[in-house]
Amino acid sequence: MVIATLHFEIHVHSVRSLSMFLLKTWRATAFGVYGYLNFTKSAFMEHSKKFNPEDTQARIDGKNCVVTGANSGIGYATAEGLASRGATVYMVCRSKERGEAALSQIQSTTGNQKVHLEVCDLSSISDIKSFASRFSSKNVPVHVLVNNAGLLENKQITTSEGFEQNFAVNVLGTYSMTELMLPLLENAAPDARVITVSSGGMYTAPLTTDLQFSEGKFNSVEQYARNKRVQVALTENWAEMYKDIGISFYSMHPGWAETPGVAKSLPDLNKSLSGKLRTSEQGADTVIWLALQPKEKLTPGAFYFDRAEAPKHLMFSATRGSYSLINNIVEDLRSMSSLSS
């Protein structure tokens, strides 16, 4: 009897393992095909034929925009794009030196001197709290917050505050920055909006409460995908939670863009898709479009790609059901960040 039970349990475990392997293989394959058809530079050129040029010609003088991770890549292109349209831009960067160089370049390129640098390490809760406290004392209403800072660190590194580093930047940092900016966003209501830069990689991952990848062998690409899935689910959650106070929330993904971050973290992808990757400006296009559109044209909590609402789940990928975990995840993030509800 004991042997029969043991055989049965081994069989069930084997079936589950095989099912999970097949599901992960399907997700990766579906993502690869979908991405190759939609996320490349040539796909952007094709999609852009349907763009309305007037959508991104608006001036936003007098609007205050905060962009995290703004010294390079998509963050830089976003900050430059907003500054060129007259916005007052606050670039939140970890490195003072790189931030100052980017700031100077943007001021020179756009002729807009209302571009400012704020130094903050988005992997540190205490640093984010210090920044929020400092910035709040300026009493500046925030019309647009762009959560762009992201990390794909291939090694499993723990921050000084005890968090897995990718999670600390991509999820906990994004959550804390957004929550702490809410009073300043509310001061800009009903025109305030939060735009979070996710990734198409999230299509391969469901939500999980294992936020720091403490179960199983660490896989940085999978952790990044999980982090980016959380960002999309958080956006949906925030949109519902704060729908009555005049702040709108949107997530987006830039496609496969050639940025310093991709070159450093995914050298094989960068090499294999050489010449096919989008520019940072093409990657930032939908961020700027979301910042400029009248809210009535947009769907709160939606996921955008190439100026259009995109699906949050690929067919047969079995990621939709995991969204029942979002409330548990939000509670965990609130507890980890020590932010009151």
Please give the biggest Cα pair distance in the chain.
81
pLDDT (mean) for 68-88: 97
- Judge whether residue 341 has pLDDT over 90: no
Pairwise CA distance, residues 38 & 183, whole Å: 37
Pairwise CA distance, residues 21 & 54, whole Å: 47
Pairwise CA distance, residues 288 & 85, whole Å: 10
Window from 16-20, 164-168, 188-192, 235-239 with minimum mean pLDDT? 16-20
pLDDT tens digits for 123-170? Answer: 999 999 999 999 999 999 999 999 999 999 999 999 999 999 999 999
Structure tokens at 314: 């690929």
DSSP-derived letter for residue 322 is: G
- Judge whether residue 266 has pLDDT over 90: no
pLDDT of residue 11: 47
pLDDT tens digits for 322-339? Answer: 999 999 999 999 999 998
Q: What pLDDT band is residue 297 in, cutting at 50, 70 and 90? A: very high
pLDDT (mean) for 108-130: 98
Would you say 288 and 208 are in contact if contact means Cβ atoms under 8 Å apart? no
pLDDT (mean) for 8-24: 63
- Judge whether residue 207 has pLDDT over 50: yes
Mean pLDDT (the chain) is 91
- Judge whether residue 21 has pLDDT over 90: no
**What length does the chain have?**
341
DSSP letter string, 43-92: HHHHHGGG--GGGG----TT-EEEEESTTSHHHHHHHHHHHTTT-EEEEE
**Percentage with pLDDT > 90 across the chain:** 78
pLDDT of residue 267: 66
> Coil, strand or helix: which one is 157?
coil
pLDDT of residue 314: 85
pTM, rounded to two decimals: 0.91
- Judge whether residue 315 has pLDDT over 90: no
pLDDT of residue 34: 77
Spell out the residues 6+ positions from residue 309 whose beta carbon is closer than 8 angstroms to its own. Answer: 299, 302, 303
pLDDT of residue 265: 61
Pairwise CA distance, residues 103 & 127, whole Å: 21
pLDDT (mean) for 243-265: 84
- Judge whether residue 8 has pLDDT over 50: no
pLDDT of residue 96: 98
pLDDT of residue 328: 97
> Coil, strand or helix: which one is 97?
helix
pLDDT of residue 269: 61
Of 76, 175, 203, 224, the catalytic one is 224
pLDDT of residue 279: 94
pLDDT of residue 221: 93
Pairwise CA distance, residues 194 & 147, whole Å: 7
Q: Would you call 224 a catalytic residue per the annotation?
A: yes
pLDDT of residue 15: 59
Structure tokens at 293: 């559109």
Residue 271: enclosing H or E segment and its boundaries? helix 267-272
Select the more confidently predicted residue: 229 or 274.
229
Closest residue by Cα to residue 334 from 201, 187, 234, 186: 234
